[in-house]
Every structure is written in C-alpha cells, then in structure tokens.
Amino acid sequence: MSRTSQVVTCKAAICWGLGQPVTVEEIQVDPPKATEVRVKMIRSSLCHTDITSIQGFPHMKFPRALGHEGVGVVESVGDQVTTLKEGDVVIPTYIGECETCENCVSGQTNLCLTHPVSLTGLLPDDTSRMSVRGQRLYHVLSCATWSEYMVSDVNYVLKVDPTIDPSHASFISCGFSTGFGAAWKEAKVESGSSVAVLGLGAVGLGAISGAKFMGAAKIIGIDKNEKKREKGEAFGMTHFINPTDSAKSVSDLVKEATGGMGVDYSLECTGIPPLLTESLEATKVGTGKTMVVGIPAEPTVPLGIITILLGRTLKGSVLGGLKVRSDLSIIADKCQKKEFPLEELFSHEVSLEDIKEAFEIVKKPNCLKIVIKMSH
C-alpha cells in the first residue's frame, strides 16, 4: 500500500461547537483525491480570523478543524496533480487563480470564479478529508492548518522556496499579506499620497509596509497600544496616533495630522464596527478611499451614510486583492529575500498541544503573532 492510499492519524485543534473551548484531538486525515495534496504542517500561526471562527465565522458548521495560516511539506499527491510533488514546501491559501476566467483576466479583482473563496467549510467537491470520532470535520475556509496533516485542493496552495523561514512563511499566508495587498493591489496607493492605517496588528503592519512600498509620503498608524508605535516605525510608519491620548475622534485626530483635509487612503484593519465610519471620515471629501480589511464578528455593521455620500469610496478586500500565483508569489519571494522585517511580528510560540494558551497570550499588549509549532 502506498502512502497516498493510507489514512493518517494525527493531532489537530478542534472546536466542537459555537463558543466552545478549543481542544486537541486525535483525528483521521484521508488520502488526497485526484486534484489534491496532503500536507505535513511545519508551522502555523494565529490570525484574528481564527478567533472569529470559533464564534461562527464564516459558517455555523461544527465540529471544525481550525487554522488557516501556515506552511508545510507536501506528503502525498493525487494522481492528477502535475504542478507539485512530494517534498515541495507550500503555503495554503483560501482563494485560487485559474488565470482564464472573466475575473482573472479582468485585471480588476483577485476573486477567481473557477477557484472561489469557500464559505462551506468543505473542499471544492463538497466533502472533507478530515474526521474525528467518526464525525466529519469542517474547515474554517479551504484548509485546516492547526493539524499535523491536512488536505487541500492543489489550486489552493502556493509552492515557496524551501529555504524560506517557516514562521515568516506562515505570516504571509494570510495576515501580513492581506494588509500589504490592500495597500498595493486594492487601494493602489499613489506615490506621494497620505495613508491612515487603523489597527497595527500583523494585517495593519502589512498595510503600512504596502503603503511604503507604493511610495506614500505620510503613513499614519493608529492604535490604542503604545507598544505598536515602535513596531509601526519598523515597517515604515511616519506618524503615530494613540486615540486614548485624546477625547477627540479618530477621524478628527487624523484630520489634525493632515492640515484638516484628511488622508487620501485609509485602511480599516481592526474589524471594530464603529471604526468603519471613522475610517471613511478620516479621508478627503470627494476623493478619499477606504479599504475594509478587518473582519468584524457581526454580519452587519453601521455606516454613516452622509460620510460616504460626500464622494468617498468604500471598498471590500479579500486577501488584500492578491492573486495567488501572480501576486502572493512576489510577496513570498520578498519574504525569502528578507525584504520585510517579519521578525518584528514574531512575539510568541506555543506547541500544538498547548494551543489553548494562544487564546490567552493574544490578549497581551506585547503580542503580535503567535507561532504554533507542530510536535512531529
């Protein structure tokens, strides 16, 4: 019997139901089907989306195998897979790029119609390769990286240089790249412009890095945590606002820092509903552009209609507008060449067995990214 045809028993972080604690369980991972790969995970990391996932985002299907950021090694491949082989190092994605559908050729969006974002918790054929105690396991999106092994459709992984730092590779599989792409591909920040970034976690710091890459002249970072000032500066921030230092609104503070005009672009990276209107209000009347990057726990959020009626633009963003093959590969190359100070993101490490600790660590003011180390 070849490895490809064998079921693997391994450990994974599981959530059994809405709001229930995360537990580490022994699970079974089936072999990959024809267009799939089975990946032995090396590192994973915790993203804000992982916290919202146990609160029911983006679907209400349980039990759920958690995690969507990570890096691993291809352990086996389906018989129709020609682009990857055993031993290749890959990072998971939750969107594909066929390069031929209407959206892919439009040059306007990364939302591939052939390999779309999955909100069902299942693989593209509406099944799962993972089970626990005889029950089907659902993913958060397209994969489950808090597992020693996982299966993904080959169109939802990206091959990377095997010498890449595994922790940094995990960071760019979602969080950092989402922010970077939001400034680079969605906002298309113009050289010499002004940018405000709300929330300086990994996504926000990625947005700052993207704005710097695009040549922004003024990059304002906004966060209630004073410890984020130094981090923001490391990624290219030019000005810092701590809203707790003033009774004024965030938008008023941004306007003060820009001569009363507001910024050309704002990127809302917190997912805090009231800040959506604030991020819009912080931009210039008539021309200001706001990117929605952070994901709120609530399915609907309030919006100040007058703010947007005054000619401002509000745009959504998935993976920062990055196309996996065309764009994320560029970020991976820059990461491998250490063009980003990603070591500034690495603040804590836990083993998979101690995953519960991560949900406490993430509340600490000095926490940015928690790396999850696999035991094998």
- Reported as a single tens digit per residue, the pLDDT across 319-359 is 999 999 999 999 999 999 999 999 999 999 999 999 999 99
Query: Torsions phi, psi of 281, nearest 5?
Result: -65, -25
- Give the pair of three-digit tokens for residue 309: 């009626």
pLDDT of residue 2: 40
Question: Does residue 272 register a pLDDT over 60?
Answer: yes
- Give the pLDDT of residue 4: 59
pLDDT (tens digit per residue) in 53-85:
888 888 899 999 999 999 999 999 999 999 999
Mean model confidence pLDDT for the chain = 95
Q: Let me know: does 267 contact 204? Beta carbons within 8 Å.
A: yes
Residue for token digits 């970034």?
197
pLDDT at 3 over 80: no
pLDDT in tens, 94-108: 999 999 999 999 999
What is the mean pLDDT of the segment spanning 184-211? 98
What does the pLDDT read at residue 268?
98
Q: Strand 346-351 to strand 369-373: parallel, antiparallel, or no bridges (unpaired)?
A: parallel
pLDDT, tens only, 283-333:
999 999 999 999 887 888 999 999 999 999 999 999 999 999 999 999 999
Instruction: Match 């091959």 to its residue by tokens.
Output: 159
Instruction: Supply the pLDDT for residue 48.
Output: 83
pTM assigned to the model: 0.96
pLDDT at 1 over 50: no
Residue 263's contacts (CB-CB under 8 Å, 6 or more residues apart) are: 193, 194, 195, 196, 218, 220, 254, 282, 283, 284, 288
Residue 327's closest CA among 107, 50, 3? 107
- Domains in the chain, CATH or no CATH each: 3-173+341-373 (3.90.180.10), 178-318 (3.40.50.720)
Percent of the chain past pLDDT 70, that is, above it, reads: 99
Cβ atoms of 237 and 219 closer than 8 Å: yes
